Amino acid sequence: MSRKYFGTDGVRGEVGKSPITPEFALRLGYAAGTTLVAREHLPAGEHPAVLIGKDTRISGYMLEAALEAGFAAAGVDVCLVGPMPTPAVAYLTRALRLQVGVVISASHNPYHDNGIKFFSAHGAKLPDAIEADIEARLEAPMGCMESAKLGKARRIDDAAGRYIEFCKSTFPGALDLRGLKIAVDCAHGAAYHIAPSVFHELGAEVVKIGVSPNGLNINDRVGATAPEALRSAVLESGADLGVALDGDGDRLVMVDRAGRLYDGDQLLYVIARHQARSGTVPGVAGTLMSNLGFEHALGRLGIAFARAKVGDRYVLELLQEKGWLLGGENSGHILCLDKHTTGDGIVSALQVLAALRASGESLEQACADLAMYPQKLINVRLPAGFDWMSDPAIRAAQSAAEQALDGGGRVLLRPSGTEPLLRVMVEGKEAAAVGRHAEAIAAAARQATGQA
């Protein structure tokens, strides 16, 4: 599908610049609404209904109002839940039997970015065909239903409580978190009023971080993309573990009592290892960025491994194709399809904790057989329209690195799906060599784009 507005995770960009403007959000709501009206065959007089949630960015108020107006103009009812994690919107859409869920968020990006993404009635990302239909309708003039057919809006007051109970239900009933002190970093994001309650109600003593959003501080030196805040809190408070989410609550990293950081590959390994001990795990899906050490460790457990393109929607597609239930990205997006239809940072943390409580092990002990290869990731900003794939200097630097690694590592260049960046990743057995090769390729990219 050729996408004009939709990327790998909905529509995203800087607020105030196309397409993240109130005018576009209004048209997007109307286009999505007319797509719903055309596709849904409901009883006479009944309107399709959507649920809209958002993270804590100040621009969420503006975009929420514009989307609500667009849906209403198309004859679609709207349920509002306010700040709510992305996976909560997926769950509530399914639980309330609504037709579509909408999330206003730019995930781990800074506050001046925002985005809009959609979930189906089943709590999964929208199929490409429906996104294509919405994009086609965006090109048509916007209309408005007659007054008697306009949509209505209402607020779901108990949304947070419903989702808290759902998260708790994914933790084994025979276990609890009593006796554990857990630092929980919510990145001043959508989970600020959710995550601490989940862990506390399961018995843990909770040290709260990143739970004071002001509209401008989401992901600012806190959360999964800035784990030093969590590490410091764990060491200062003497916590047993630390859990960090990103701004929309679908990404997870953890820290042990010694301040060691565990990424998505390591946490997914803990879950897969535990499940393999109590049953069978036919396979785990990762991405092109997943660590070679992770793949090799799964192999020693007799678990198959397959790689998807980077992006949780591609991991989900691969899991569905294979008929598997576990997958994720090293960035911390983890899919446990036996628990939820989408990646969920809180639910994933609970699966890791369940594995540790059942075995009596620490995070370090659970990862003892997992030897991670050193990786170096460097982001290089790309000018609009720059064809990095055809640049001879970049290709020469990549080729030189691959020859030097001589089969003992990997080089991966890929554009970001959400930002104008080229991501340069090198992986190998020796950290110093990995760093040199990554820096050489990044330097060639900067020079090619006039940044040197």
**What backbone torsions phi and psi does residue 51 show, to the nearest 5 degrees?**
-115, 130
Type of residue at 120: S
Compute how many other C-beta atoms are within 10 angstroms of the C-beta atom of residue 396: 13
- Is 107 labeled as catalytic in the residue annotation? yes
Nearest Cα neighbor of 77 from 54, 55, 97, 56 is 97
Three-state SS for 379?
Answer: strand
Q: What tokens appear for 334 in the block?
A: 């983890």
How far CA 23 is from CA of 19, 64, 142, in Å, comes to 9, 12, 11
Of 107, 197, 290, 331, the catalytic one is: 107
Strand order in the sheet with 304-308: 304-308, 283-287, 326-328, 334-336
* Helix H or strand E segment including 137: helix 128-138
Compute the 3-state secondary structure of the chain and give helix, strand, coil in percent, each to the nearest 5: 40, 20, 40
Give yes or no for a contact between 372 and 423, defined as CB atoms under 8 angstroms apart.
no
Give yes or no for a contact between 224 and 165, defined as CB atoms under 8 angstroms apart.
no
> Which residues share a beta bridge with 286?
307
**HSE-up (13 A, CA, CB side) for residue 97:** 2
Nearest Cα neighbor of 210 from 353, 339, 345, 75 is 345
Classify 424 in phi/psi space as left (phi over 0), alpha (psi -120 to 50) or beta: beta
So which residues are the catalytic ones? 107
